[in-house]
Structure 1
Amino acid sequence: MIDAKILVVDDTKSVLSALEILLQFEYKSVQTISNPNLLTSFPNLQEIDIILLDMNFSAGVNTGNEGLYWLREIKKKASHISVIMMTAYGAVELAVEAIKEGATDFVLKPWNNERLLTTVKSAYELRKSQKEVQHLKQKESNLKQVINQNSNYIIGNSKALNSVLNLVQKVAKTDVNILVTGENGTGKELIARELHKSSVRNNEVFISVDMGSISENLFESELFGHVKGSFTDAKEDRAGKFEAANGGTLFLDEIGNLSLQMQAKLLSVIQNRVVVRVGSNKSIPVDIRLICATNCNLDQMVAEGLFREDLLYRINTIQVQVPALRDRDGDVLVLSDFFLKKFANKYGKPSLKINQSAQEKLMSYPWPGNVRELLHTMERAVILSEGNILKPTDFLLDTKTTVSLEGGPKTLEEMELVMITKALHDHDGNYSAAADQLGISRQTLYNKLKKSSK
């Protein structure tokens, strides 16, 4: 017994009875109506799988127009239903017209029982396949939503960050290749995800690949895929990251870590937008938005012969420079408050606060590890806290970077660091104002802080 619902629509009661008897032993539900006007109000029409529909209902009329009209009405209300047209007046032109209007098949009266059952079974198989396709599409859509879900947010309101976000919004709607640069821990992947979220591909998948973690032996297999038997561990066909990202965005992080040999292979795919799986000769076209990221100076690497210039041109149509945390005036406290709430709730300490002295300590620190370092610092402080107030001693920072203002420095470098720390303290962490007070450039201030943190 096939689990399908069939509806027969014919104005001849003997036809209805004959079809009901024939089909009821094959299908779980068989219903009949003699008046097609009842179709518009038929209960649970959406649940019907197959309709056998007569083409002529008025006496003396055999044009088939009535059947075509009701076929169109059915498709308006439930386009998924497989409709089989029935008529005693067969004509090739009429059958062709019915198929054009969306009919699945055509049956002539009087019918051959075996042939009719075969026709209905074929219509059922078609409907079953359509259901499976719809299910797979829904499953794929749900999977993409899960993959694209990202609990991390771009937090901050500094001028430097807003400038980057404005650039992101300008270029997101295009399909140009983008290179995201910046120090470790600045949030380059978050920027890449923001580009994807703001693009026309935002309903498709975002695939992130850490190029630094892929060995040279597995590079082609990971990115381009392989076929079964192409190497020892290739036990089945597998799509690479380029195929997986088809229609969406492919994010290649740490692209500066690739060898020249891997760069050459990557360049070919980026140029041609075609991949060939390892062990295969078949070319597979891919449609992706490419975003790359690095903390390396690729221009310098090109000059030193470590990075292909033609590859740099391909991936660098637009460059987005993510600012270091020390360049984002005021964002340290904004991020600290965000992370405090996040981890306080996570670890059951919702009443935690940061006192003024601790805020000043956080503001005066140069954060060489950027946002990632701040995140780990806040989580550690929350976990180890014993009271409701976080004090300076609760934040374990690099002592080389945060030399105490009390006591005498022992070296020239320590003296400079004391002066820099005091200047930052006096100007509430404003690097520009601190640099002006010290009579040095903002970049020199950064360099000295970075040197002291090593």
Structure 2
Amino acid sequence: MDKHQGHILIVDDDEDILVAGKLLLKRHFSDVSICNQPQHIPTLLAEHSFDAILLDMNFGPGESSGQQGYQWLQRILQLDPLAVVVMITAHGGVDTVVEAMKLGATDFIAKPWQNEKVVATLSAAVQLGQSRRETQRLRQTNQLLSNASVPTSGPFILGNSVAMQQVMSLIERSAPTDANVLILGENGTGKELVARQLHAQSQRSANVFMAVDLGAVSETLFESELFGHKKGAFTGANEDRIGRLQAANGGTLFLDEIGNIPLHLQAKLLTVLAQRQVTPLGTNKPIDIDVRVIAATNVAKAELTNESRFRQDLLFRLNTVEIVLPPLRERQEDIEPIARHYLALYAKKYAKPDMSLATAALQKIQHYPWPGNVRALRHAIERAVILSISAQLTEQDFQLELTPNQAGEMAVEAKLSAVSKPDLLASKDDLNLERLEKTAIEHALKTHRFNISHAARALGLTRAALYRRMDKHGL
């Protein structure tokens, strides 16, 4: 006879009942626990998740009123409102049974019992318990999804440059697997779109895609948000809350801005990913999870490989496959198709049909460095469509200005792209731009004894920009 999946707890002070009950039920259910002292019930409920509980009405010699059974029934339901409790009574009077049902019992079994009746009753109870918990999990998952401010439409990655063709090739090869993926790229390059494309092409595509912006999660709420919590786990925890990891079970969890997590929380995330179990705050019961993790960050790879900034064992677990998204300024041939796509989109949205892009305006946006990448281009097109007084967008419709920091960084890029420091070249005849940039950075690092802040200042770069270039050249 096949066993049903289900964990049952039998609570009775009669050892004969416990032994007989366990021998009978373990032939039909995957796990049966016994308890001869009801005082142990709170501890057992904290450590295990039971699909059904078989509870005696009376404990101790001479007890027959059923009051102890009523009290423990109420206590169980206070500790676990979803518990399914079947009462055991040697006195199957109608009044006793009715009172137990009023207090929340699901069913009852009278002593001496019939084996077939016990198995049938417990089978129904286990199914009810599992159904209740699955319903709660789905309700909480739907609540998380409904509260998430993420687009529900399918992913749409724009661009056909060589760099983006390489990105799409990596997506196509890694998506069907369950390998964890780390996506690197500046803000606005489309990291979440890549994550959604990976999910859409995976074997988990019919299940949940759960996105979490770790940059928006405070350190104090990190564990509650990802791991969940039980009611009363901390001040303000007024009800049970399912964590994002559990809500994404069977699907894909997208952890955006993974580089923002403090080291001590990185260790806790690593433990969960390694054990594939999550323990909500306020409980000792680990819950098995089956999720594919896709992480993303705008932090440069050189900073991620810095052990004082990011745990290398966590990095190793996250970047089974690594996808680097190029900034828009490095794929200028994609600017026109992206601009025309969003022009058509926003012209329709704002009821301005037949809008076009003037040649001068197109040239202007093609030569702008776009520090905000595709996101900034999209916003610029939307703003131009809204404010334009004609059917053709002109240069004047695009107010593109760089902040002082952005202008300084772009100016340094221009200088490094030009042959401006021949004294740094190993050979006066070597005018290769890539080698020139690498040599300039090496010279600045050596001059300032590899002090990143000083070297970046000498080059006119931010620390993040210098880290990106060091990573690019393998320095």
In the superposition, the TM-score normalised over structure 1's length comes to 0.59
- Kindly provide the CA deviation profile for residues 345-378 of structure 1, in whole angstroms up to 9, marking residues without a partner as x: 1111112110111111111111111000101110
Kindly indicate whether residue 346 of structure 2 is the aligned counterpart of residue 343 of structure 1.
yes
Deviation, structure 1 residue 302: 3.6
Equivalent position amino acid for 1:174 in 2: T
Q: Of residues 396, 400, 410 in structure 1, which corresponds to 2:399?
A: 396
Alpha-carbon distance between aligned partners in 1 of 2:174 and 2:295, rounded to the nearest angstrom:
14
Equivalent position amino acid for 1:265 in 2: K
Instruction: Kindly report which structure 2 residues correspond to 1:363-374, keeping only aligned pairs within 5 A, or say none.
Output: 363-374=366-377
Alpha-carbon distance between aligned partners in 1 of 2:224 and 2:413, rounded to the nearest angstrom:
52
CA contact (8 A) 1:298 1:307 kept: no
Equivalent position amino acid for 2:215 in 1: G
Alpha-carbon distance between aligned partners in 2 of 1:196 and 1:386, rounded to the nearest angstrom:
41
2:450 corresponds to: none
Kindly indicate whether residue 433 of structure 2 is the aligned counterpart of residue 440 of structure 1.
yes
Larger Rg: 1
Deviation, structure 1 residue 442: 9.7
Judged with a 3 Å threshold, the aligned counterparts in structure 2 of structure 1 residues 415 and 213 are, in CA distance, closer, same or farther, namely closer
1:225 corresponds to: 228
CA contact (8 A) 1:339 1:379 kept: yes
CA contact (8 A) 2:412 2:461 kept: no
Equivalent position amino acid for 2:306 in 1: A
Alpha-carbon distance between aligned partners in 2 of 1:361 and 1:285, rounded to the nearest angstrom:
54
2:168 corresponds to: 165
- Runs (5+) with no aligned partner, structure 1: 1-121, 402-410, 422-437
Give the secondary structure class of the aligned counterpart of 1:277.
Answer: coil
Kindly indicate whether residue 307 of structure 2 is the aligned counterpart of residue 314 of structure 1.
no
Q: Of residues 201, 205, 208 in structure 2, which corresponds to 1:205?
A: 208
Deviation, structure 1 residue 251: 0.5
Q: Could you tell me the percent identity over the aligned residues?
A: 44
Give the secondary structure class of the aligned counterpart of 1:174.
Answer: coil
Instruction: Kindly report which structure 2 residues correspond to 1:299-310, keeping only aligned pairs within 5 A, or say none.
Output: 299-303=302-306, 305-310=308-313
Q: Of residues 184, 187, 190 in structure 2, which corresponds to 1:184?
A: 187
Equivalent position amino acid for 1:220 in 2: E
Q: Of residues 281, 284, 287 in structure 1, which corresponds to 2:287?
A: 284
- Kindly provide the CA deviation profile for residues 242-300 of structure 1, in whole angstroms up to 9, marking residues without a partner as x: 00000000000000001011101101001001000000010100000010001112443
Give the secondary structure class of the aligned counterpart of 1:247.
Answer: coil
Judged with a 3 Å threshold, the aligned counterparts in structure 2 of structure 1 residues 416 and 325 are, in CA distance, closer, same or farther, namely closer
- Runs (5+) with no aligned partner, structure 2: 1-120, 419-430, 442-459, 466-475
State the aligned residue count: 298
CA contact (8 A) 1:148 1:206 kept: no
Taking only aligned residues, the RMSD between alpha carbons, in angstroms, comes to 3.9
Judged with a 3 Å threshold, the aligned counterparts in structure 2 of structure 1 residues 388 and 330 are, in CA distance, closer, same or farther, namely same
Alpha-carbon distance between aligned partners in 2 of 1:253 and 1:157, rounded to the nearest angstrom:
25
CA contact (8 A) 1:184 1:295 kept: yes
In the superposition, the TM-score normalised over structure 2's length comes to 0.56
CA contact (8 A) 1:225 1:239 kept: yes
Q: Of residues 339, 352, 356 in structure 2, which corresponds to 1:353?
A: 356
Kindly indicate whether residue 326 of structure 2 is the aligned counterpart of residue 323 of structure 1.
yes
Equivalent position amino acid for 1:188 in 2: K
